Structure 1
Amino acid sequence: MGGAAVSGPGTLNMSRMKRMAGPDPRAGFKAGGTDCSTSVPQGLLKAARKSGQLNLSGRNLSEVPQCVWRINVDIPEEANQNLSFGATERWWEQTDLTKLIISNNKLQSLTDDLRLLPALTVLDIHDNQLTSLPSAIRELANLQKLNISHNKLKILPEEITNLRNLKWLYLQHNELICISEGFEQLSNLEDLDLSNNRLTTVPASFSSLSSLVRLNLSSNQLKSLPAEINRMKRLKHLDCNSNLLETIPPELAGMESLEMLYLRRNKLRFLPEFPSCSLLKELHIGENQIEMLEAEHLKHLNSILVLDLRDNKLKSVPDEIILLHSLERLDLSNNDISSLPYSLGNLRLKFLALEGNPLRTIRREIINKGTQEVLKYLRSKIKDDGPSQRDSATETAMTLPSESRVNVHAIITLKMLDYSDKQATLIPDEVFDAVKSNIITSVNFSKNQLCEIPKRMVELKEMVSDVNLSFNKLSSISLELCMLQKLSFLDLRFKMLPEVLYRIFTLETILISNNQVGSVDPQKMKMMENLTTLDLQNNDLLQIPPELGNCVNLRTLLLDGNPFRVPRAAILMKGTAAILEYLRDRIPT
């Protein structure tokens, strides 16, 4: 420990000894308070001195015991009982406390003794009954993460603006009515959650939070957003759900870094264009009063994957919806739409919701069959409305008598090999023969009686990316599926999650709902770094492994309709991010 150390059993570091012998400049605080022997086990304190971490969550504490505040100041009790210490008991070599968790207790206040823990980088006091914070919080200069959510704070102390190293600040579920002056000084803040408070405005100075990546303002009483918000050059995730917003500042459409925008449950009647939001992947604007969707709203959304327009007043969908080449999920439910553009069928959607619309052009039974059947129907209408004479001639020339059952139009125009709904036990060779030299990106062999994957699928290994084998009688999957080099979408109906799926690292989507799947392997699932959508609804999962929360690339995780008890329905309703966070919090340490 440096030149001042002496050797031998029972000896102390002299610099530490000097500190203990003289009067402690911080020892003027009352040493009374909650009895540590009953509220905090000595073994827990001993372990905290070694690790620098102390977790007192859920211990029914009404105040923080003095021994916690003074853990790095006082000589521990065991030091007075034994002067001979082994290598594992050298309390004078203790680590300063850097992480303190005192959440889920009954704390109504914290004292200024908080300053006795200047090394703290994480302070978690969520789910208590705090109405204020001590001014001494300003002295926690090293603090990087502060969680004060689920308390009763009405105002934030100005001293919080001194925490210049703060990166994560969680203030959701309090009673805040305004934001402190000087808040913009938290220039290193990356994640800020102010949801479920009573905020009526967001100050323009917020735009100075230049490092902010995620901002959650949902469930407040905001009527507007400041135009200056577009100065947040790193902001990727903006959540303004459940407010009173009537308009969106056009400047918001200039946020180049924005990837996820949540505007559900507001009072919006119009949408801005998004000329600069080229990275926007998810736009959630359901439950508003939007009456019109125009081409200008869509033409710049080049990267959009999820578009939620449910529960509005839309009467039509523009033909320009076909410009959204990347779109995977489109929710149009509960609007006033009477017809859809047939071009919608050419999108490679994985989810399309149309319930609650007065549609006249699509029969109810087709809608009830699901997304792929609706898209197939819309594509067929494109054909019925008359392909060009050239297309007709080409199709006639290519359709040999032996190929009469093969949809050559789909092969040429849609790059799809479609032999679905035939109740066939084998896919005839003529189907594969019809491909010839054409490029095929999608295969649809659904609604047949297949017991195994057709071996000739390997012929498409260098080009096919979407495979639909749902509603067959597959009992296992052969390794040939791994040879499909570009496979990113696979639709199955199965009794267990096939082992081979874990080896297809290009997969982006697994739809395996309405089966009898009883378990998943979270460790193998985590290796599937491209997997973004996992639909496990209506299976036989008795438990969800907490380690599934480590699959952080999942954007859509659907678990409804399984017999597990946790996570409860309230967590599932909060969406994928909340489910993953819930699971991660329960991983054994």
Structure 2
Amino acid sequence: MDRLLKAARTSGSLNLSNRSLREVPVELYRSLDAVGEGEKWWEAVELQKLILAHNNIESLKEDLRNLPLLTVLNVSHNKLTDLPAAIGQLSMLKLLDVSFNSIVAIPEEIGSATSLVKFDCSSNHVKELPCSLGKCSDLSDLKASNNLITSLPEDLKNCSKLTKLDVEGNKLTALSENFFASWTLLTELNASKNLLSGMPENIGCLSRLIRLDLHQNRILSIPPSIMGCSSLVEFYMGNNALSILPEELGSLSRLGTLDVHSNQLNKYPVGACKLCLSVLDLSNNSLTGLPAELGNMTTLRKLLLTGNPLRTLRSSLVNGPPPALLRYLRSRLSEGEDSEATTPAKEEVVTMAARLSLTSKELSLEGMGLSVVPSEVWESGEIIKVNLSRNSIQELPIELSSCLALQRQR
């Protein structure tokens, strides 16, 4: 331990994770005061990063205030039941992770940690978030999933820089319209597995939203303003109480995945047949038929229809590969409409697949008939896995060498 503390006084970083600690070493709270013989006290630095994850720590002392330059504090996967008020005196703190503990309440003092950018209190026993959290104006990533939260404090609307919010697995009954009016930078919202009965009418304010997950709630309808979510790529609404889908869904030109399984839908809107989807899950609904216009959705790679009383379609079509069903549906269109139902250009399909990789970071271009690797593979800079199998590519471009995160799949 002495060796680690000595190293921390040089680097400003200390990692004591997975050490079966029952309490925080007292020396840690007075890091600089413990400069030992032979150390140059004028070269010692204050602790800035402290990792105590995966231990058996039951409490943090108020002495935490003695670490004023701390920017990262990770005490996840411990046995904490509360947090000290001194957390609010860490004015430089940017990342706080207290997930997977037994914390019942977050202290109001956390609002004084105004530099906070990412806060994770998921998988605890928290019943409410403090109103003071709204004072953390730089907060961009808030994760409070798997708790007992029944409502979000109205003051959270002041966190206008929020880009990611995860409140999955709580007891939320509603989301305020005031939130969406100010959270215009939001790119990911996960409020699945709650008790929501509806969506705010101004959901369309979230024009930068890429991923929206509201599955396993009690939502009755999707407001027409959903068309304002023009950046949406993934939309999950399975296990709700939807009886209809709005025609306005067809305006979501970037949407690649639409999951509405296990609802009460009795038809799929013609307007939504304009979508360039890769995945459409309509399983376990009340569909008796499909619009012929669905046949024009030739970008579909995965179409799930099981669990519907589809009386007008043969089971071999319903359970078979999507292209066969889509061809059949196109054949039911009038001759004029059928002439417009052409297979999308290869470039369009590649572009759509690249959009879908935004959140999964995996890009599948299998069986596309490609002779060269498209530039989308390396231009995003975030893809970690690409599938180029079953193509006619003879050589890999030199640009791939710049993709440090890429794991090539053959």
Give TM class, smaller chain.
0.7 to 0.9
- C-alpha deviation, 1:363, in angstroms: 2.5
Contact kept? 1:505, 1:529, Cα under 8 Å: no
- C-alpha deviation, 1:63, in angstroms: 0.3
For 2:376, the equivalent position in structure 1 comes to: 506
- C-alpha deviation, 1:238, in angstroms: 1.4
- C-alpha deviation, 1:309, in angstroms: 0.4
For 2:354, the equivalent position in structure 1 comes to: none
1:387 aligns with 2:335: yes
Contact kept? 2:222, 2:246, Cα under 8 Å: no
For 1:253, the equivalent position in structure 2 comes to: 204
RMSD, aligned CA: 3.1
For 2:324, the equivalent position in structure 1 comes to: 373
Any stretches of 5+ residues in structure 2 without a counterpart?
351-362, 389-402
For 1:226, the equivalent position in structure 2 comes to: 176
Contact kept? 1:97, 1:120, Cα under 8 Å: yes
1:56 aligns with 2:16: yes
1:238 aligns with 2:142: no
- C-alpha deviation, 1:64, in angstroms: 0.6
- C-alpha deviation, 1:93, in angstroms: 0.9
Contact kept? 2:234, 2:256, Cα under 8 Å: yes
For residues 272-314 of structure 1, the C-alpha deviation after alignment (integer angstroms, 9 at most, x for no partner) is 112422222222111011111232x424323322211011111
Find the aligned partners of 2:236 and 2:322 in 1 and give their Cα distance.
19
- C-alpha deviation, 1:110, in angstroms: 0.6
Find the aligned partners of 2:91 and 2:131 in 1 and give their Cα distance.
19
For residues 133-164 of structure 1, the C-alpha deviation after alignment (integer angstroms, 9 at most, x for no partner) is 11221221110000011111111111110011
1:531–1:415: structure 2 CA closer, same or farther, 3 Å change rule? farther
AA in 2 matched with 1:351 = K
For residues 427-463 of structure 1, the C-alpha deviation after alignment (integer angstroms, 9 at most, x for no partner) is xxxxxxxxxxxxx725xxxxxxxxxxxxxxxxxxxx6
For residues 402-445 of structure 1, the C-alpha deviation after alignment (integer angstroms, 9 at most, x for no partner) is xxxxxxx8xx64444xxxxxxxxxxxxxxxxxxxxxxx725xxx
For 1:289, the equivalent position in structure 2 comes to: 241
- C-alpha deviation, 1:319, in angstroms: 1.3
Alignment partner of 2:141 out of 191, 195, 200:
191
Find the aligned partners of 1:106 and 1:182 in 2 and give their Cα distance.
29
Find the aligned partners of 1:52 and 1:152 in 2 and give their Cα distance.
29
Find the aligned partners of 2:126 and 2:161 in 1 and give their Cα distance.
23
Alignment partner of 2:307 out of 326, 337, 356:
356
For 1:329, the equivalent position in structure 2 comes to: 279
For 2:253, the equivalent position in structure 1 comes to: 302
Find the aligned partners of 1:202 and 1:184 in 2 and give their Cα distance.
11
Structure index of larger Rg: 1
For 1:131, the equivalent position in structure 2 comes to: 81
For 1:211, the equivalent position in structure 2 comes to: 161
For 1:490, the equivalent position in structure 2 comes to: 365
For 2:26, the equivalent position in structure 1 comes to: 66
TM-score normalised per structure 2? 0.83
SS of aligned partner of 1:491: coil
1:312–1:549: structure 2 CA closer, same or farther, 3 Å change rule? farther
Contact kept? 1:144, 1:168, Cα under 8 Å: yes
1:170–1:350: structure 2 CA closer, same or farther, 3 Å change rule? same
Find the aligned partners of 2:382 and 2:166 in 1 and give their Cα distance.
26
1:413–1:181: structure 2 CA closer, same or farther, 3 Å change rule? closer
- C-alpha deviation, 1:223, in angstroms: 0.9
Contact kept? 1:367, 1:373, Cα under 8 Å: no
Alignment partner of 1:157 out of 87, 102, 107:
107
Find the aligned partners of 2:364 and 2:17 in 1 and give their Cα distance.
43
Alignment partner of 2:345 out of 426, 441, 444:
441
Answer 1 or 2: higher relative contact order, Cα 8 Å, separation at least 6. 2
Find the aligned partners of 1:70 and 1:59 in 2 and give their Cα distance.
20
Find the aligned partners of 2:192 and 2:250 in 1 and give their Cα distance.
24
For residues 168-212 of structure 1, the C-alpha deviation after alignment (integer angstroms, 9 at most, x for no partner) is 000101111112132210100000011111111112222111111
Q: Percent identity?
A: 34
Find the aligned partners of 1:527 and 1:302 in 2 and give their Cα distance.
21
Contact kept? 1:105, 1:128, Cα under 8 Å: yes
Find the aligned partners of 2:72 and 2:348 in 1 and give their Cα distance.
48
Alignment partner of 2:130 out of 167, 170, 180:
180
Query: 1:69-84 alignment to 2 at 5 Å?
Result: 69-76=29-36, 79=37, 83=38
Any stretches of 5+ residues in structure 1 without a counterpart?
1-39, 84-88, 392-408, 417-439, 443-462, 467-487, 508-525, 537-547, 558-589
For 1:314, the equivalent position in structure 2 comes to: 265
Find the aligned partners of 1:464 and 1:225 in 2 and give their Cα distance.
36
AA in 1 matched with 2:31 = I
For 1:16, the equivalent position in structure 2 comes to: none
SS of aligned partner of 1:166: coil
Find the aligned partners of 1:527 and 1:181 in 2 and give their Cα distance.
42
Find the aligned partners of 2:231 and 2:116 in 1 and give their Cα distance.
27
Find the aligned partners of 2:312 and 2:375 in 1 and give their Cα distance.
39
SS of aligned partner of 1:182: helix
For 1:98, the equivalent position in structure 2 comes to: 48
Find the aligned partners of 2:223 and 2:254 in 1 and give their Cα distance.
17
Contact kept? 2:230, 2:254, Cα under 8 Å: yes
SS of aligned partner of 1:355: coil
SS of aligned partner of 2:258: strand
Find the aligned partners of 1:216 and 1:535 in 2 and give their Cα distance.
30
Find the aligned partners of 1:358 and 1:64 in 2 and give their Cα distance.
60
Find the aligned partners of 2:110 and 2:348 in 1 and give their Cα distance.
55
